[in-house]
Chains A and B, each alone.
Chain A
Amino acid sequence: MPHTTSKSQVPVPVQMAQNGQTSRQPPGKDVSPSIIRVLVKTPNAQEEFVVSDDTTVSQFKEAISTQFKCNVDQLVLVFVGRILKDQDTLYQRGILDGYTVHLVIKSKNGPPPQPSGPHGPLLMDLGPREGIGKVVGNGGRQPIIPIRNTVPTPIPASEPEKAKAQSQIPQPRTAERMAQMLESPVIQQLLSNTELMRQLIMDHPEVQQLMKQNPEVGHILDNSEILRHTLDLARNPAMMQEMIQRPDMPRPPEGFWGNETNPGGDNALGRNYAELPDSLFGGIQDPLRENLFTEFMHGASSLGGTSHTQSQEKQDSKPVPRVLHNPPPGHPLSGPTPVAAAMANAPAATSKGSSRARTSSTQGIPPLTTESLDHKTDRNFPHMADDPQLLEDLSSGTRFTGSMLQLLVQNPHLAAQMMLFMGSPQLYEQMRQQLPTILQQMQLSDLLLALANPKASQALLQIEQGLQMLSTEAPALLPWLTPYLWGLGRSGFPEATAAGAQSKEASGPQGRGKTDTRYQPLAILQRLQALAGGYSQQMQPPEVRFRPQMERLRAMGFRNHNANLQALIATEGDTSAAVRRLKRSQAS
């Protein structure tokens, strides 16, 4: 039954329908116009319209405009992705009963880029140019806008004015444009004018806030070298993505770079690294804590600069970040310092050292030896800083670690599950079987190495060297070593190597070749557990720690001292689990 009343006021077609078939039959239509219900949906609301299906779109629009109280010109009707043109009828467009037509009401001022909201389109277009904007954190976009806009005119003009002018300029896909602008000598000059940049940055309220939270930032900004370096960084979008990944944290990403190039600046970081282990442990020890890894990263970010006793040591070993680049084969570093630094490095958005170390240790000897040579000869800051390989490692390493951590932060239930698994030994065993490959995919090996005992990694690298020599001098020995390797390899290798310092052959094979990448992931969890268990405890050689258990094992009849030790290390001192492991390896 045709409705005589309708929500919309489209009298003509309805009447026509009421009157039955009349002359208004559009060409090509055989049946009488029927009444259809059409749902008109806007982002804000939706209304149902009952119309005849031979209503033209323009008539329909009129009805809609009355209903929605706007002009017909403002209406854009979209059906199945097609914009409805005025002269068509609903039937022609295939709009049948019960279908939904989308409506966009154009605002009177036109599309979103309005003077009142100048930052909308600017932000949209700043996508590719985030680098520049984010150099100084989230708020940094604004200072840059004036630069973009006022190439010929002096910078210190009012920002809203600039933004307004900006909005009037059409903004197409302007990545190339931005690149062009960057290239222009005026911009280059401006950007090189550190005083100006500094002023711009300082003037921004968010930056000021950042500085309040983080005194180091001010220090960093004072150094023109750092600024320049930062701007270079801005040109590398991959790097910048890494830098901006955690905008909610009051962390001066550029500060890290600056400190690297600036010898004196390391002090800030040196202090900060010390903070990390505490936060790290605090975070990990509470397995059900929701934002476990946020805590973790907050630790990394809380570069509050409070002095720490350990920082004294660190200040001496200035290249704290650098140390890890040259995986410390030739350099006996004091235990806690580099480990803390190592841990700080990994999560602190850059796992330079770890990725470097990993590259070295996993890719074999040649990079290792060259680095160790470098390391032994001279520790040159600029030398390291300019190393392109370094940056490469950095960006690749951090991206993965960062994204992994990001993932964990955003999915705290995942992290919680991980921690739960680690608490339950049976589940843990089960997980451990599966995790190596998983974690390998996730590139957590960075984290692992970062967390590793530096003495261990040092020993490990020595082992690699030894193995390399072995392989060249006496390749016949290798098959003999391999089974040993597999049997021992199950436990976390860094600890094993620390213990194995006594017997190089025993632990040697562990560090070898591709087993590295396999066992690293395993060791990550163990590392985490170990850390949770107690940092200082880890520093004691496992022999000392596990003496009573070792005794027990020997009493049970397991004579192989090393195998016992490995098993105990793997099970963290759990004698019965160690027994199971030993039995398993004996059987295999």
Chain B
Amino acid sequence: MEPTNLYPVKLYVYDLSKGLARRLSPIMLGKQLEGIWHTSIVVHKDEFFFGSGGISSCPPGGTLLGPPDTVVEVGSTEVTEEIFLEYLSSLGESLFRGEAYNLFEHNCNTFSNEVAQFLTGKKIPSYITDLPSEVLSTPFGQALRPLLDSIQIQPPGGNTFGRPNGQS
């Protein structure tokens, strides 16, 4: 049994609305939402997230959003940085290209979930992944769906990953 390195995997959770959702969601949506969640995976001392510009990375807490509102311990992984970067780069070319971004169906949380499962076998908390369906189940959400669908979120401060020119 050779010792294997275990790298901790964390999930950084940000509330994009900075508390507005908690206050206004009862009025606007008719149901209580605790926040508009944006997540990213932190492993190997880097933060990785998916936005309209594709997969990006930055130092942990290094986007303009600042430090996360919540940090969830996802688990630990044996996957080395090298393998992980390989993995991310093939993800970025296939499933998680920038154009593939959709606020409801295929967003930063989708990515975090995917990566978390790859790294640790565990999924991210369901209150995060359930958010789009929560919103869409309200009449307000349905009404604003065309508008919301076109929203593309890309927290600034990250470097786009794996593109030849480095530009999103």
Contacts and interface: CB of A to CB of B under 8 A. Distances in A.
Interface stretch (A77-85, A214-222, A514-522): A77-85
B121 A120 contact: no
Contacts of B72: none
A414 interface: yes
- The SS class assigned to the A binding surface is mixed
A81 B77 contact: yes
Interface stretch (A240-248, A363-371, A380-388, A551-559): A240-248
A120 B163 contact: yes
Interface residues of B, number: 63
B151 A411 contact: yes
A120 B161 contact: yes
Contacts of B27: 430
B127 interface: no
Contacts of A247: 156
Nearest to B7: A81
Interface string B120-153: 1110000000000000000000001001101101
A119 interface: yes
B164 A117 contact: yes
A113 to B, nearest CB: 8
Contacts of B158: 127
Contact of A123 (B59, B83, B89, B161): B161
Given A78-B79, A412-B147, A123 B166 contact: yes
B45 interface: yes
B86 A104 contact: yes
A490 B2 CA distance: 70
A407 B38 CA distance: 12
Nearest to B22: A438
A138 B53 CA distance: 13
Contacts of A402: 64
Given A119-B165, A410-B153, A438-B20, A126 B159 contact: yes
Contacts of A441: 18-19
Contacts of B82: 111
Contacts, number: 153
A174 to B, nearest CB: 11
Contacts of B66: 403
A413 B148 contact: yes
B166 A141 contact: yes
B19 A438 contact: yes
Interface in A114-129: 116-117, 119-120, 122-124, 126-128
B107 interface: no
B68 interface: no
A80 B121 contact: yes
A438 B24 CA distance: 10
Contact of A120 (B19, B75, B122, B162): B162
Contact of A43 (B90, B154, B157): B90
Given A124-B161, A290-B147, A403-B64, A81 B166 contact: no
Interface string A74-115: 001011111100000000000000001010111100011000
A244 B83 contact: no
Contacts of B93: 43-44
Interface string A395-412: 000000011001100111
A412 B86 CA distance: 35
Interface in B75-113: 75-80, 82-83, 85-87, 89-91, 93-95
Interface in A237-271: 241, 244-247
Nearest to A126: B159
Given A104-B90, A241-B64, A413-B147, A438 B164 contact: no
A497 to B, nearest CB: 29
Nearest to B89: A112
A246 B155 CA distance: 10
B71 interface: no
Interface string A43-58: 1100000000000000
Nearest to B158: A127
A241 B64 CA distance: 7
Contacts of B28: 417
B31 interface: no
Contacts of B79: 76, 78, 81, 83
A442 interface: yes
Interface string B40-66: 000001100000000001110010111
20 contacts: A44-B95, A76-B79, A81-B79, A81-B119, A82-B4, A82-B78, A104-B86, A124-B161, A128-B59, A130-B157, A241-B62, A241-B156, A403-B65, A407-B18, A410-B16, A411-B16, A411-B17, A413-B151, A414-B17, A441-B19
Top 7 closest pairs, chain A to chain B, by CB: A80-B121, A81-B77, A119-B166, A43-B90, A123-B159, A81-B120, A43-B91
Given A79-B121, A119-B165, 14 more contacts: A78-B118, A81-B75, A82-B4, A111-B85, A112-B86, A119-B166, A123-B159, A127-B62, A138-B167, A290-B150, A407-B16, A410-B153, A411-B36, A438-B19
Interface of A: 42-44, 76, 78-83, 100, 102, 104-107, 111-112, 116-117, 119-120, 122-124, 126-128, 130, 138, 141, 173, 175, 241, 244-247, 290, 402-403, 406-407, 410-414, 416-417, 430, 434, 438, 441-442
